[in-house]
Structure 1
Amino acid sequence: MITLFYQVSKSETSLSSLRFISSFSSFKNPGVFRSRDDDFSNSCNPFQLINHLNQKPKPTIKEIKITHTQCFKVGFTQSDIFVANSLADLYCKSGSMGDALCLFEEIPHPNVVSWNLMISGYNQSLRYEGSWGLFRKMQDLGFEPDRFTYGSVLSACAASRNVHGGEQVYGLVVKNGFFLNGYVRSGMIDVFLKSFCLEEALRVFRDVWCKNVVCWNAIIAGAVRSGENWLALDIFHEMLCGVLMPNSYTFPSVLTACAALGELQFGRGLHGWVVKFGFDEDNFIGTAIVDLYVKCGIVDDALKVFSRMKIHNVVSWTAIISGFVQMEDSVSALEFLKKMKVVGIEINKYTVTSILTACAKPEMKKEASQIHCWILKFGFYSDPTVRDSLINMYSKGGEIDLSEMLFWENDGPKNVDSWAVIISGFAQNHNSERTIEMFCKMCREGLRPEKFCSSSVLSIIESIDMGRQIHGYIFKDALVFDVAVGSALFTMYSKCGSLAEAYKIFKQIHEKDEVSWTSMITGFADHGYPNRALNLLQDMMDAKYRPDQVTIAAILTACSSLPSLWKGKEVHGYALRVGIAKDTVVSGALVNMYSKCRFLTYARRIFESMPRKDLVTWSSLISGYSKNEYVEDSLMLFHKMIFVGLETDAFVISSLLGMTAKLTKLKIGKQLHARIVKVGLDSDPSVGSPLVEMYSKCGNVEESQEVFDTIEQPDLVTWTSMIVGYAQHGKGSEALRVYDLMREKGIKPDLVAFVGVLSACSHNGMVEEGYFHLNSMTQDYGINPGLRHYACMVDLLGRSGRLKEAKTFINNMPIQPDALVWGTLLAACKVHGNVELGKLAAKRVHELEPSDSGTYVSLSNILANEEQWEEVLNVRSSMTDAEVTKETGWSSI
């Protein structure tokens, strides 16, 4: 065998023999080698010496040099190319490239193996420029590279991301006929992939059909690294269709793609193949399967695979811990960390960051402190990723002060990622002032915000002016076209009520994802544009995006706003078809939609079928019953909600109080008031306002005032309820006193508040005050009066007997009077017996609302009071001719 090996080395070597030579150092059996003849003693036989060194795990430089000296003494380094190459290979593997190069330059006639060993040695030493320089020198001296040469130099180009050099080498590959070699082609594919040039890698891959599984593995792995997971699965499918069998290097990449896409069913199929082909004991494949089940939320299956693995490395342990973190099972995550430490697995930074995420909860403060101490003890704190995770853990646990302390504790320069974490922490704690302040500090230090940082800042902005400034800033960095930043930007505009600007940004995003579509649909649905939301859903489905639970819930909100039972049923049918109708979010939205569409039978049926009912769902159904005046059903459901242990919230109480106020059920209202006091909602303005209104409508304005006085910071709605309550009970002076007090508190009145003020003036005959407040709307607050405000003024003038002035006022209105305005004048004419003006007012009402029976009755009563019986008959005859019937009076008593 050694004679054959010697003869091969002396020649230019065939491809098959080169493979044999390149694996020489892996031979461990000393019996394989024999001396070439009997001229050498055993002590100085170079083949035995070299074989002896190859048996050692890592021979020292001293041992290699001793062997080199022995070979030199007997002249083998100059006369035997095999011995010289073997020594050079030993120097390369020991990392002594200087000695290897000196030996290489002493070889009188180096062959292609010699060059290959040196180029490979430079690669092993990470000296890729040396590999490239040696390759060029080889060409200049006229040596013809072989497939191993090309493969090694392409590896150097890939590691150094030298795309231009790689393309030059590949040109020689094509020229010299090595194009079909899978080893060379996989090297060129790797060059492009490591330089993030996936399209060029695909071009090389698809130039000719390749039967080498290495090339397929390289392109699949590259696609996964580039985030093109669907492409990776498509190529894997092509591989199978081409009757190529995957190997142990194929499955980890394909399983990773399935994990990223959440393709559980396909992943299970791959798991079956792994078991069938006997790869289930491969540690890398087992870890990838664990990761797949974890990311798909099937932690039980992940644990089964993990338990069957013979070797558990840090990656598989970390994957299991991450699974528990994903399920928000922090206790199990910490237990597995303890087990991991017991069996002696060395923990890395990825394990630490997963555990920090598990402790990022307010209830895990004690564990968070312990993990922090442990990190300091074992030296993980110096890692920037761990430090950022610590900052994030404390901010999510509500300890934003500790987060900031850790952030400033690092005196060195802070990178963008660290700034993004602390800015996100302030945003999550709803501290908009500090969020923007830290954002500005980061920018002043010359750092450009990345997409995560920009999205965090945009999430807390509530002022459209500030939002536009941030928009301008991120526009300069072209971040606005990123789907995450773009979505945060148009969500900000949507939240600030500027739907036009939000939609403009949305259309500028080239590659929209499900989140961006859903955010825009939600914006339209929540801000009173339900039809736009429905149209956008159709566009989303036309673009081949599948609506998820959040999208469906937003669309059901739009159907509730219309309200459109027919559209709502369509959406319900779609949710049933795709299997998400049982989801808690979707079920709650369906209950809300059917309740608002007054289809309470279906609402109750879905409600009863829900395995878990949240507070929002209970509130929706109770609100539906309340608004439709189902007193018994709403109260029974409210009692049941309390019985199952759910807390009473402001929305439920407001709904019930609204029903109570409408039906003037004072006894029920007082019971609800007692419940409000018991649960501590009596100082909440959102509850106080309907409570004030309830007592007012039930005729107890004094109780309204008492409730009002208990509210710590009444909002505009609560102030308005108090003003309207006094006005309706004829207490104009008290109403105006409350109005003046409201302005002193710095609260600006709105359209509804001015209706209450003008009503107070009307009920108390305060004409001059009425004119003053009407003018104040425009002059002091820039509010244009509406028809209700003008109707209040007409009522005020009519009650005061100034009918002609009221007519002149109507004629001078800047907007066209409606039936309400003329009807108010007609009512005043009835009180004061003004027939002529009454006829005019009735005529105008008839023109605007021909079917209004009240106008005929009012005019008839005016004429009857003046004993104009003939005119009375004419009015009743006109009423008959117009087929208008008077509604029958009824009483609730």
Structure 2
Amino acid sequence: MGSEGPKSVVVHVSGFKKFQGVAENPTETIVSNLRVFVEKRGLPAGLKLGSCDVLETAGDGARAALYKAMELGISATDSKSNEQVVWLHLGVNSGAVKFAIERQAVNEATFRCPDELGWQPQQQPIVPEDGGTSRVRETCCSIEAILKILKNRGYDVAISDDAGRFVCNYVYYHSLRFAEEKGHKSLFVHVPLFSRIDEETQMRFVASLLEAIAATSTASSTSSSLRLNSYFEPSARDLVYSNNLKIDGLIKSGDLNTALKLFDEMPVYDVVTYNMLISGHGRHGFPEQAFHFYAEMVSQGIRESASTFSAVLGVCNDAGFCREGMQVHCRVVSLGFGLNLYVGSSLVDLYLHMGLDNVALKLFDELPDRNLAVWNLLLRGFCELGLLDELFGVFSRMELDGVDPNGLTYCYLIRGCSNGRLLDEGKQLHCRIVKDGWVESNVFVANALVDLYSACGSLIDAKEAFEAIQMEDVISWNSIIWVCAENGLLLDALKLFVEMQFWEKRPSICSFVGFLNLASRTENIELGKQMHSYVLKSGFGHGGSVHVQSALIDMYGKCVDIESSVSIYGSVGEKTLVSCNSLMTSLLHCGFIEDVVEMFGLMVDEGIGIDEVTLSTTLKALSISALASLGSCKLVHCCAINSGFESDIAVSCSLIDAYARCGHVKLSRQVFEQLPSLNVICFTSIIHGYARNGMGSEGLDLLQEMILKGLKPDKVTILGVLSGCNHSGLVKEARFVFDSMKKLYDISPDRKHFSCMVDLLGRAGMLEEAEDLLRQAPVNGDCVMWSSLLRSCRVHKNETVGRRTGNCNSKESEMGDGSQFDREDNELNVFDIPTWKSERGSKTLVNVDSFGAAGDGVSDDTQAFQKAWGIACNTTNAVFLVPQGRHYLVNATKFQGPCTDNLIIQIEGTMVAPDEPSNWDPNFPRTWLDFTKLNGVLFQGHGVIDGSGSKWWAASCKTNKTNPCRGAPTAFTIDKSSAIKVKGITIKNAQQMNFVISQCDAVRVNAVQVSAPGDSPNTDGIHITASTNVILQDCKIGTGDDCVSIVNGTSGIKMKRIFCGPGHGISIGSLGKDNSTAMVTKVVLDTAYLRETTNGLRIKTWQGGSGYVRGVRFQNVRMENVSNPIIIDQFYCDSPKPCQNLTSAVEITQVMYMNISGTTTSAKAMKFACSDTVPCSNIVLTDVNLEREDGQVETYCNSAQGFGYGIVHPSADCLNSHDKDSTITDQTAEAELADLTRADIVHTEL
């Protein structure tokens, strides 16, 4: 007889909370949901799930909580019941792609960063009484047997001998020690992130792990040994599970045929098998087959689960299976799943897509414990249905229920405001979103705000919303580009399109389709051809995206180049519905009516299919075709009914129009009355149908009906009513409608309305009234209107009015096309006016030319500028204008404030400095254009500030060491100012520094270009000193020194999308010169491109200084052939003589490098040369990858402390070294860690 083993096994499970801002720790989710999961799945006899605890991600500070959880777990276990207790701890390894069973824990705590409670031990024993840090404790669980069970079940799992030296190892060591004292067992398992292995698979893995632990923990008895062997031999249940995993993988890869073949070979299957087949076929576009599997499942007596109903309802929803969806709903109720949250939400979604919002709301109200996802589902439905009152009503209810909104919630609310053009409500919502922090953290919310202001026609608000986005994606750029395009700013849109690519955002299909659609709308074939060329270069052309090809077909068609449309269509390999529709609309636009009708027949015969666009285009063609007949209209109507598009608004309105043009207005009315919902377009179509058939009274009745329904007529609706009155001779009624346009409907009559009324009054003989009305028309009418009145005068033989009409008509005719050209020129001139006119309202223009400026580049214009400044500075709402196309020679000048409110400095021309150093004004030795003591001033324009610095550079001691070392002027200085904006200007060839911001607060620099030759000495691009809250954005800088230099007294500096090269990179410093004190804090560089610069991201300080640099973050930086990509140098010495060795130094701490990549020309890609007495500390590197084409790269460290996690290349391990001077190459690291995987090299378990 073998020894009596335990009757059962109790497994207590723990995980960890999220750590240091990580969005989610999978172990927290797994442990929190484990009990519910295993209860549904069921556990084998003899296995019990004990406590499920989520621990703080901390070491010593959380030790008491760890032991408390263990003691509570023991107290809940009956010691007399002969139960085996196992402690299972789960941790996450963010770099892993498989599960890892940890064999042992080490008595050493060396935390790579502080834990959640701020503790950061280094080479410290976890339990001092256990001896030194070399002590190892191993688990007594049969991990090889556990591994075999798990592998038999298809899991990718391995055994690891290193649990790290962080919190995971700390907890595991204590647990092993505790388990040994109590006669228990302990095991630690690392899991990957959910992004590597999904949550459902990880939940199944942990459930299988529990079963494997139970099987191996009871192996001491004979009966238990038999049961262990049964675990090693896969059971029928395990075979089903294994096959299900294979089917799931095949479906996800799109191989449905192989999945079905495997399914047919399976002897048994379960509800999970069918769930995968249903959802997989639905996801891959085979809804009929998906529903077939559901019916087969029911017929075989396999009962549905909540996942089954959720999947099949999703199929019905996507495929439009309304009747089938209702049948499934009946079964949901009969089986008692109606109150299940996931099934109920699927039903809500189904009925919302069917347009039955009242049913959806009723089902929603019946759901218990509604979560945020269900609320968002309802919000999305109401948004898509255009039910804005209900949308905001649901949002109010959601807040009353205590449910906090997320980014998706705000996206639906913003979209609702966009659809309803609710600008004021949108702005209120924007304020709340900013307050809640969603603009900065959620790019989708930020993009939705841009779309909102675009839809509401608020260009300025849209631009500001775009500029507020922290990390734009392609959608962000597309949104702002279309805002400009929709507002007629084509050049701005194209400029943004180029800028998007400059920042390495590759145009998407939507980018090209949008521009091609713009070319179609404006009939701008030159733009279309340029985009076509770009499409071909980008690989989206022939054989590429069907959407791009269709947009090309449509563009050439709208531009009346039907040959090109047909050519592109012919080059498309497989004819699709989208490409056929594009060619149909192009043929219609170009007047090839019979070809449209013929193509409709071909699409039906060849099985390409039809949709609402096909049907409405064909009906429009029939409406104007000589072949049109009632029979052909009815034939297309039958196709619409058979294809399910009879209720589509576009198709129905086209049917109404087609029947009316055939003279069968009764059929038009039948189509109108059968529509499930009516909008303005429907009423407008039937009103025009009545007007075309001389039934003006019916049109008036319909106008009243739509008003009673709460619908507001538009210009087209009113034109239809007036046209009906004209054809019916209803003068009184037409006059009332015309007079009511502005009063009742806030519609300004256009030339078509005036023309219709003039024609009606003229036909009625009311010629004087028609003449008076015509003189009120836009531009006093046109030739068509005067000619119409003249014809009426002839009919009614009114010579007096006829002569006046004839004279006016002659004058109008003489203007001819020339007037049209004049109007077009005037319209173009509007866009040439600088942007201040649209952004700041009415202004007083102060033009330097008006004060005697010559602008010839030779005459001294300094005095004229000073006079103009005196006026502009003291005039409210003034614009100080430097006109375009002129060169102004200006000597050193101080433009001093304070000035009155809302001053704009508009630089469109070029300001040139004197080029001779010997003639420089001695009163201004270090400045040229100095703007000081200003508040709320905007500098903008497309002009240039040219420092003419070549002779200054030649006289520099850095160019020629025999020259004396002396300072030179700064080209453009803003000093002692606040709330300043600088936009769009170019600064070049400065005598020394190009642009200095000194002693300022709240300065924003946007889209400024700075340039000077790469060998021009000391020509820093933008230099910031003693200033706070400065933002640099979208700037392109290439000079002979630092692109951006940040020195003492600065705080709150944000740089975004900076292009740098040539130059010395982005620098903080130099600081601490001549034993001075320096303070620089809160500096962020986000998104930059550095090309062929002599330094990359640099912090430089002199020996002997004091103070600090702290709170610096460099992220999302791409480098190309950059020397010294990452460098901290506390031994900086820019002096012809050797610098003295001093002990004090400026402290450098809290510096982060995140997502830095590219190529370098230096062997030492990262250099941290720090002071021995004031070491650099808290340096963090993550996702850094620097390469050198001609050899290895390495990191140099001296007295630098920090750590790297994620991918860091070259290795940053020397940051943790206690050696003062150490260099670690990639080869060294690989030799030391040859037996470990890449994920193990940087063990980021939490």
Q: Normalised by the size of structure 1, how large is the TM-score? A: 0.62
* Structure 1: distance between partners of 2:77 and 2:644: 72
Query: More helix per residue: 1 or 2?
Result: 1
2:565–2:583 CA contact under 8 A, matched in 1? no
Deviates more, 1:468-477 or 1:388-397: 468-477
- CA spacing shift, 1:2–1:591, aligned 2, 3 Å: farther
Q: Superposition pairs for residues 563-712 of structure 1, below 5 Å? A: 564=663, 567-576=664-673, 578=675, 583-611=679-707, 612-629=712-729, 634-635=734-735, 638-641=738-741, 646-659=747-760, 666-676=767-777, 679-682=778-781, 684-691=782-789, 693-694=791-792, 698=797, 700=802, 703-704=805-806, 706-711=808-813
How many Å apart are 1:397 and its aligned residue? 3.1
Q: Superposition pairs for residues 449-464 of structure 1, below 5 Å? A: 450-461=545-556
2:310–2:342 CA contact under 8 A, matched in 1? no
Whether 1:293 aligns to 2:385 is no
1:359 match: secondary structure: helix
- CA spacing shift, 1:664–1:429, aligned 2, 3 Å: same
1:388 match: secondary structure: helix
* Structure 1: distance between partners of 2:597 and 2:149: 69
| AA aligned opposite 2:458 | M
How many residues align? The count is 659
* Structure 1: distance between partners of 2:582 and 2:591: 14
* Structure 2: distance between partners of 1:674 and 1:618: 21
* Structure 1: distance between partners of 2:648 and 2:138: 79
Whether 1:302 aligns to 2:366 is no
- Larger RCO, structures 1/2 (Cα 8 Å, 6+ apart): 2
* Structure 2: distance between partners of 1:187 and 1:118: 29
1:470 to 545, 565, 579: 565
How many Å apart are 1:288 and its aligned residue? 1.1
How many Å apart are 1:337 and its aligned residue? 3.1
How many Å apart are 1:471 and its aligned residue? 3.2
Q: Superposition pairs for residues 495-514 of structure 1, below 5 Å? A: 495-507=589-601, 508=603, 510-514=608-612
* Structure 2: distance between partners of 1:292 and 1:641: 34
How many Å apart are 1:671 and its aligned residue? 2.4
Whether 1:76 aligns to 2:118 is no
* Structure 1: distance between partners of 2:394 and 2:732: 55
Whether 1:223 aligns to 2:315 is yes
2:431 to 319, 329, 338: 338
User: Who is 2:645 aligned against?
Assistant: 545
Deviates more, 1:193-202 or 1:204-213: 193-202
How many Å apart are 1:371 and its aligned residue? 0.6
Q: Deviation per CA, 1:654-674: give whole Å up to 9, x if none.
A: 334445665666534432442
User: Who is 2:6 aligned against?
Assistant: 3
Q: Deviation per CA, 1:630-663: give whole Å up to 9, x if none.
A: 5555556545556656433333333344456656
2:386 match: secondary structure: coil
1:245 match: secondary structure: coil
Q: Deviation per CA, 1:59-110: give whole Å up to 9, x if none.
A: 999995545999997883459957x799999xx99x9776699xxxxxxxxx
1:356–1:371 CA contact under 8 A, matched in 2? yes
Whether 1:431 aligns to 2:521 is no
- CA spacing shift, 1:285–1:4, aligned 2, 3 Å: farther
| AA aligned opposite 1:467 | I
1:219 match: secondary structure: helix
Whether 1:373 aligns to 2:467 is yes
How many Å apart are 1:572 and its aligned residue? 2.5
Structure 1: which 5+ runs fail to align?
39-44, 102-116, 719-893
Whether 1:441 aligns to 2:534 is yes
2:783–2:812 CA contact under 8 A, matched in 1? no
Deviates more, 1:640-649 or 1:396-405: 640-649
How many Å apart are 1:254 and its aligned residue? 3.3
How many Å apart are 1:364 and its aligned residue? 0.4
2:361 to 268, 280, 284: 268
Q: Deviation per CA, 1:654-702: give whole Å up to 9, x if none.
A: 33444566566653443244233xx3143x3443442454566655478
How many Å apart are 1:496 and its aligned residue? 2.1
Whether 1:182 aligns to 2:279 is no
How many Å apart are 1:367 and its aligned residue? 0.5
1:151–1:184 CA contact under 8 A, matched in 2? yes
* Structure 1: distance between partners of 2:5 and 2:517: 68
User: Who is 1:414 aligned against?
Assistant: 507
How many Å apart are 1:219 and its aligned residue? 2.8
1:545 match: secondary structure: coil
User: Who is 2:445 aligned against?
Assistant: 351
1:514–1:547 CA contact under 8 A, matched in 2? no
How many Å apart are 1:384 and its aligned residue? 1.9
2:329–2:347 CA contact under 8 A, matched in 1? no
* Structure 2: distance between partners of 1:395 and 1:217: 45
2:421–2:455 CA contact under 8 A, matched in 1? no
Q: Normalised by the size of structure 2, how large is the TM-score? A: 0.46
User: Who is 2:344 aligned against?
Assistant: 251
* Structure 2: distance between partners of 1:88 and 1:35: 32
Q: Deviation per CA, 1:252-279: give whole Å up to 9, x if none.
A: 33333334443324423422432xxx14
User: Who is 2:981 aligned against?
Assistant: none
Q: Superposition pairs for residues 388-407 of structure 1, below 5 Å? A: 388-407=478-497
RMSD over aligned CA atoms reads 5.1
Identity %: 11
| AA aligned opposite 2:622 | F
| AA aligned opposite 1:366 | I
* Structure 2: distance between partners of 1:262 and 1:523: 31
1:588–1:617 CA contact under 8 A, matched in 2? yes
| AA aligned opposite 2:7 | L
1:249 match: secondary structure: helix
1:157–1:165 CA contact under 8 A, matched in 2? yes
- CA spacing shift, 1:593–1:425, aligned 2, 3 Å: closer
How many Å apart are 1:473 and its aligned residue? 1.6
* Structure 2: distance between partners of 1:438 and 1:452: 14
Q: Deviation per CA, 1:737-782: give whole Å up to 9, x if none.
A: xxxxxxxxxxxxxxxxxxxxxxxxxxxxxxxxxxxxxxxxxxxxxx
Q: Superposition pairs for residues 790-805 of structure 1, below 5 Å? A: none
User: Who is 2:416 aligned against?
Assistant: 323
How many Å apart are 1:243 and its aligned residue? 2.6
1:560–1:596 CA contact under 8 A, matched in 2? yes
1:282 to 368, 371, 375: 371
User: Who is 1:865 aligned against?
Assistant: none
1:2–1:33 CA contact under 8 A, matched in 2? no
- CA spacing shift, 1:639–1:348, aligned 2, 3 Å: closer
1:333–1:358 CA contact under 8 A, matched in 2? yes
- CA spacing shift, 1:56–1:680, aligned 2, 3 Å: closer
1:398–1:429 CA contact under 8 A, matched in 2? no
2:457 match: secondary structure: helix
| AA aligned opposite 2:389 | D
Query: More strand per residue: 1 or 2?
Result: 2
How many Å apart are 1:502 and its aligned residue? 0.8
- CA spacing shift, 1:464–1:191, aligned 2, 3 Å: closer
User: Who is 1:208 aligned against?
Assistant: 297
* Structure 2: distance between partners of 1:205 and 1:557: 43
2:616–2:650 CA contact under 8 A, matched in 1? yes
| AA aligned opposite 2:581 | S
2:454 match: secondary structure: coil
* Structure 1: distance between partners of 2:380 and 2:477: 25
Q: Superposition pairs for residues 8-27 of structure 1, below 5 Å? A: 16-18=42-44, 26=52
2:279–2:312 CA contact under 8 A, matched in 1? no
1:232–1:254 CA contact under 8 A, matched in 2? no
